[in-house]
Structure 1
Amino acid sequence: MMLTPPEASAAEAQAAIVEEFGFFGDWSERYQYLIDLGKRLPAFPDDWKTEANRLQGCQSKVWIVPEARDGRLFFAAASDSSIVSGLVYLALRVYSGRTPAEIRATAPDFVQAIGLSKHLSPTRSNGFAALLAFIQHTAESA
């Protein structure tokens, strides 16, 4: 149920994301790709969709559950929004399954590189920032 990214490092994951988004010429195609990525999130149990697991700061509902295992942090997450689910997938692809030190040392450079910062609504940008902050805070607390 926890997303384990295919790339060996967070830097490789970010590079792959930038390359993938480079295939699309306009933002309507990129939004569709985000929606498709959101469908790749592993199943998230309904009994995890509690207020305790709900990410604050998002207009859409986002639930996230961290798990520490073998010196690494894994995250499971879900959203009630298709585009936000895609954003969640991107964040987990970069950060889930990494050591706390790697998470802390990895700035979300892919956000600027693929143009997300310019093309997300203010509420989605704030929610995505809250998700990234939660991941960083979890790594700092580990």
Structure 2
Amino acid sequence: MSTSDVPATLAEIRDGFLETPEADRLLLLLEYSDELPAVSEEVANHPEMYERVAECQSPVYIYVEVDEGIVTMHATAPPEAPTTRGFASILVQGISGLTADEVLAIPDDYPQSIGLTKAVSPLRIGGMTGMLMRAKNQVRQKR
């Protein structure tokens, strides 16, 4: 797994998971689910701006803005899907504020690097990977 291009915030999040005993990592993910930032009023009022993340079983929608080269990621995930919300929260917190180039340099296998492959199903890790890929695609289109 590549760790050289992981931006500081995402590296801190990854290290936090890896430093947490494996048995407690799911609890840490659930803490992130409670921290998913609310989307801006502008985005909330224009749901057509969102892209559905088909890789997620739960209805997850993302929207990425690039303003003067700086990326802001928005995501919605239902409260009844806390692991998915946790993954969305990690990406929103880790991507927002980065430059477009920094986002595009995030290793595609970042979701596999945070130490949750034994705590959650491969399908859920695939959902986080789908969120990351779609965010990167939106950045490519908007920069």
The bucket for the TM-score relative to the shorter chain is 0.7 to 0.9
Question: In structure 2, how many angstroms separate the alpha carbons of the residues matched to 1:136 and 1:84?
Answer: 18
Question: In structure 2, how many angstroms separate the alpha carbons of the residues matched to 1:82 and 1:105?
Answer: 27
Spell out structure 1 runs of 4+ moving beyond 6 A: none
Share of identical aligned residues, percent? 26
Aligned residue type for 1:121: S
Q: Is 1:88 matched up with 2:88?
A: yes
Aligned to 2:22: 26
Question: Is the CA contact (8 Å cut-off) linking 2:6 and 2:107 kept in structure 1?
Answer: no
Q: TM-score, normalised by structure 2?
A: 0.77
Match runs of 1:50-129 below 5 Å: 52-80=50-78, 81-108=81-108, 110-129=110-129
Q: Is 1:36 matched up with 2:34?
A: no
Q: Is 1:12 matched up with 2:24?
A: no
Aligned residue type for 1:33: L
Question: In structure 2, how many angstroms separate the alpha carbons of the residues matched to 1:121 and 1:21?
Answer: 16
DSSP 3-state at the match of 2:26 = helix
Shifted more, 122-131 versus 45-54: the winner is: 45-54
Note the residue ranges of structure 1 that are not aligned, 5 or more in a row: 1-8
Say if 1:109 and 1:14 are closer, same or farther in 2 by CA, change over 3 A: farther
Question: In structure 2, how many angstroms separate the alpha carbons of the residues matched to 1:53 and 1:116?
Answer: 25
Question: In structure 1, how many angstroms separate the alpha carbons of the residues matched to 2:133 and 2:109?
Answer: 14
RMSD after superposition: 2.5
Note the residue ranges of structure 2 that are not aligned, 5 or more in a row: none
Q: TM-score, normalised by structure 1?
A: 0.77
Count of residue correspondences:
133
Say if 1:120 and 1:51 are closer, same or farther in 2 by CA, change over 3 A: farther
Question: In structure 1, how many angstroms separate the alpha carbons of the residues matched to 2:69 and 2:20?
Answer: 37
- Measured after TM superposition, the shift of residue 84 of structure 1 is 0.8
